Amino acid sequence: MSLLVVGLSHRSAPVSVLERASLSADAQLKLLQDTVAAEPAAEAAVLATCNRIELYADVDKFHAGVAELSTLLAQHSGVGLEELTPYLYVHYEDRAVHHLFSVACGLDSMVVGEGQILGQLKDSLARAQELHTAGRLMNDLFQQGLRVGKRAHSETGIDRAGQSLVTFGLEQLAAGAEVRDWVRGRRALVIGAGSMSSLAAATLARAGVAEVVVANRTFDRAERLARILGEDENTDVAARAVPIESVPAELTRADVVVSCTGATGLVLTAEAIAAAVEGRTGEPVVFDEENPAVRTLPPTSLGTDEGCPLDVSAVQQQPGFSVMGEAAVAGMDAATLEQHAAWVDNATVDRRTAGRRGPEADAELIAALAATAATVGRIPERRRPEPVAGPVRPEPVLFLLDLAMPRDLDAAAHRLAGVRLIDIESLAEASADAPMAADVDLVRRIVADEVAAFGAAQRAAHITPTVVALRSMAADVVANEIARLEGRLPGLDDKHRAEITQTVKRVVDKLLHAPTVRVKQLAAEPGGAGYADALRTLFDLDQEAVAAVSRAEDSTEKNAENRGPA
């Protein structure tokens, strides 16, 4: 087994990179086709969810495989290889199996224990089977991953350690209140009609919302989802479908909005959201720095802080404070200071809120501080301004849950008064502080046991064609010797011929039994792959005969594959 996985997820990459690297359905298909066409890879599967992109392949060379899979991911995601590489992780052989099984159990999910990943694994396998990029290894791996995930959910309380992203997101919107109490009587707008949006609509309906409106680019799918919701005997919700063009109008009526589409651009801009809220409250919701007397909410950050090594949240409200000044960089080492200087040079700071001294003065100060850092190793003191009280955020009138990757809703909506926005980035931060249930340890033990069993089975399977070829050769030897005996004893009657044949077969079987059983046991142990080679050498087996057995078994696997994943 030479299983290799190269990928990136919410654990290795920021949301901004995951958004840009996300793969459309067509891109996933092309990636699979190009992977199996590449020299190091024999078969492949892609697992692409809202917070992970992983490419699995059976490769014959590790380093060449890593280089090829990384390059293919970069090409099809549209993110340059140099930019993508720092966020990629690589797992090989048993570590790759361990990773997939952990993913299947929800241990690697943003919300630990969520079960939706099992459906995504099943879809990934079905896609690879449809394109014929899944051979024996991918089929065995993903089928077993599905079984391990189901076992973890049935034998442990991993479900108590976390929920689906939908449930977790609604809990974050409710801000500590019971979701059922919080949503009861509210109107909900669900944008999208895929699996995540359908789950969100069903969850809201079961929780007790008064109305669910479904909007989708394909109106028929929106109608179908609305009909399913309306016909559910376990809910008493009014459900209707609208075209995607009706979203701005529906936004003025909705209390809760959940969006998860496959759009590559924003579905709702901050301006559209602000207009909907202003239409309700009659109050401006966008921060106006030139008129601070207006009772509005200040921005949540000083412009884009991507690439900035500072935590600017502690200083953003201090009047006259410059994020490029001495107090901001006090305490940095030289390397971090250099990163900060590059961030300033790239003009990513909103200078209206970044202080009034001007870029030239700040550049001079950074140069002086850099010289100090180069001499003493770091700036000796880190000074932070005392936080000042700001305007109180008004109670939200519109609650937004964005589960899409890339995001559907403008992140600038975080700054709008009367709006509470929870997105993938918010969920990642919230889930990092979530308590881990004791059942997680039980699941980890299940994963470890299953990885060991899978590895042993794969190693044992590797020697099976050799054992079958050996027994086939022995059967040919018996047949040839019986034929030679008949030539020497033409008068041998059928009864004696049958008895002699059976005796010879028993002798051969007994001689081969112990070695073949033992070699399978030894091959199942780590490092046991060499026993197949030893067996072929000792018995001078024809390599083509072994390969023919393998091809026959692959044909059997292909027939099983056509029946679909478990």
CA-to-CA separations, 330 to 123, 310, 365, 368, 498, in angstroms, rounded: 51, 11, 12, 12, 95
How far is residue 96's CA from residue 451's CA, in Å, rounded to a whole number?
Answer: 10
Six-digit token string for 255: 């209390």
- Is 109 annotated to bind a ligand? Reply is yes
How far is residue 168's CA from residue 387's CA, in Å, rounded to a whole number?
Answer: 31
How many other C-beta atoms are found inside a 10 Å radius of the C-beta of residue 181? 11
Q: Does residue 473 contact residue 541 with C-beta atoms inside 8 Å?
A: yes
- Is 120 annotated to bind a ligand? Reply is yes
- Is 50 annotated to bind a ligand? Reply is yes
- Is 198 annotated to bind a ligand? Reply is no
Catalytic residue among 50, 105, 260, 308: 50
Q: Where are the alpha helices (DSSP H) in 38-106?
A: 62-77, 81-84, 94-104
Evaluated on CA atoms 334, 337, 343, 344, the torsion sign reads negative
Side-chain half-sphere CA neighbours of 456 within 13 A: 12
- Is 116 annotated to bind a ligand? Reply is yes
- Is 431 annotated to bind a ligand? Reply is no
State yes or no: is 50 an active-site residue.
yes
- Is 51 annotated to bind a ligand? Reply is yes
3-class secondary structure, 256: strand
- Is 230 annotated to bind a ligand? Reply is no
How far is residue 347's CA from residue 441's CA, in Å, rounded to a whole number?
Answer: 47
How many other C-beta atoms are found inside a 10 Å radius of the C-beta of residue 424? 22
Compute the CA torsion angle 120, 125, 130, 133 (nearest 10 deg): 130
- Is 169 annotated to bind a ligand? Reply is no
Element of type H or E holding 430: helix 424-432
Give the pairing of strands 52-59 and 187-191: unpaired
Feature table: binding site:
49-52, 109, 114-116, 120, 192-197
Feature table: binding site for substrate:
49-52, 109, 114-116, 120
Feature table: binding site for NADP(+):
192-197
Query: Hey, which residues are catalytic here?
Result: 50
